[in-house]
């Protein structure tokens, strides 16, 4: 079994210490952080996702796997981030109200930080009011909303709405993303930008901050 397959397997079993050890070993062996992320950690999470859908594993197992995934990402973080870049803007990020999924949001945050942008992370279950208040208080150029559930993606429309109601919609760009989100959905709610993955989100955030 290759080391990337081992990372995937131990991640699925939720073995955080082993995942951390293997991720470090893979880095030491010269495997790129992107490969470790995609072929080790994310491929493991895809397997968990399919089993979850088929009722072969349940919330506790998925949570433990998610914890192992986050543990692996923490080890990868320094290697994923570019060194010594100066702040090029500020964004506020969060997972929308009612939604507790944060692995994708954390990856997006990390990649945006890697572009030299300051990121204010509001966490999960973030209401439109919280997005608005943080954007104003932090003077953020971009608000980034993540959603993983079809039942919560509608909250993104409420985020757009609150900035319109408060009269500052033209001062803040709103980016949306997450598994159920599409370019069409982004346009239908009047958001400014959709990104399908963390790397694209980081490039888009930089472009939005520089506009
Ligand atoms: Co949840 N869950 N979950 N879950 N969970 C999904 C999303 C689901 C697809 C599983 C399935 O049925 N196959 C399904 C949603 C179905 C739907 O809505 N259509 C689902 C469900 C139903 C639920 C519950 C309702 C289950 C229940 O309780 N019965 C419940 C809801 C809780 C809640 O949020 N209120 C629930 C709970 C959980 C756990 C807590 C157990 C756990 C979350 C732990 C955590 O995040 N800390 C969990 C997990 C782990 C998943 C799966 C297995 C993995 C999600 C993940 O982290 N993927 C997921 C199935 C799957 O996706 N295969 C599933 C890896 C991550 C890196 O990808 O988040 O897509 P992702 O992020 C990507 C892109 O989407 C993008 O970039 C990232 C990296 O490239 N991206 C952005 C994300 N945000 C972005 C923002 C941007 C731009 C890009 O700009 C701002």
Distances 33 to 72, 136, 167, 181 between C-alpha atoms, Å = 11, 35, 42, 26
Model confidence over 114-123: pLDDT tens digits?
A: 787 899 999 9
Each residue of 183-202: pLDDT tens digit? Answer: 999 999 999 999 999 889 99
**Range list of H helices, the chain:** 3-12, 16-28, 33-35, 43-53, 59-80, 103-114, 128-138, 155-165, 183-189, 198-210
Q: What is the pLDDT of residues 43-69, one digit of tens each?
A: 998 899 889 889 999 989 988 998 999
CB-ligand 1 contact for 47 (6 Å cutoff) = no
The per-residue pLDDT for range 95-147, each reduced to its tens digit, is: 999 999 999 999 899 888 878 789 999 999 999 999 999 999 999 999 999 99
Chain mean pLDDT for the chain? 93
Q: What is the pLDDT of residue 80?
A: 80
Mutate which of 33, 36, 80, 104 to test ligand 1's pocket (most atoms within 8 Å of Cβ)? 104
Model confidence, pTM: 0.88
Residue closest to 119 by CA, chosen among 149, 83, 91: 91
- Is 1 near ligand 1, meaning CB less than 6 Å away? no
* pLDDT tens-digit map of 137-181: 999 999 999 999 999 999 999 999 999 999 999 999 999 999 999
Q: What's the whole-number mean pLDDT along residues 21-41? A: 94
Residue whose structure tokens are 């080391």: 3
What was the pLDDT predicted at 85?
A: 46
Centre of ligand 1 to C-alpha 101, Å, is 5
Residue 86: per-residue pLDDT: 57
């Amino acid at each position: 079994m290759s080391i990337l397959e081992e990372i995937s397997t131990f991640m699925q079993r939720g073995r955080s210490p082993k995942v951390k050890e293997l991720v470090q070993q893979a880095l030491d062996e010269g495997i790129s952080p992107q490969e470790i992320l995609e072929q080790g950690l994310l491929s493991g999470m895809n397997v968990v996702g399919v089993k979850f859908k088929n009722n072969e594993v349940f919330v506790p197992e998925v949570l433990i796997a998610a914890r192992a995934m986050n543990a692996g990402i923490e080890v990868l973080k320094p290697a994923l981030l570019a060194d010594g870049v100066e702040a090029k803007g500020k964004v506020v990020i969060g997972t929308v109200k009612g939604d507790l999924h944060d692995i994708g949001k954390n990856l997006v945050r990390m990649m945006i930080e890697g572009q030299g942008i300051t990121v204010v992370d509001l966490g999960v279950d973030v209401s439109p009011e919280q997005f608005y208040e943080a954007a104003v208080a932090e003077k953020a150029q971009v608000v980034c909303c993540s959603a993983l559930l079809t039942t919560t993606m509608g909250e993104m429309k409420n985020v757009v709405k609150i900035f319109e109601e408060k009269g500052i919609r033209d001062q803040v760009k709103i980016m949306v993303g997450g598994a159920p989100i599409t370019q069409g959905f982004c346009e239908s709610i009047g958001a400014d930008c959709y990104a399908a993955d963390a790397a694209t989100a980081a490039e888009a955030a930089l472009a939005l901050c520089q506009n």
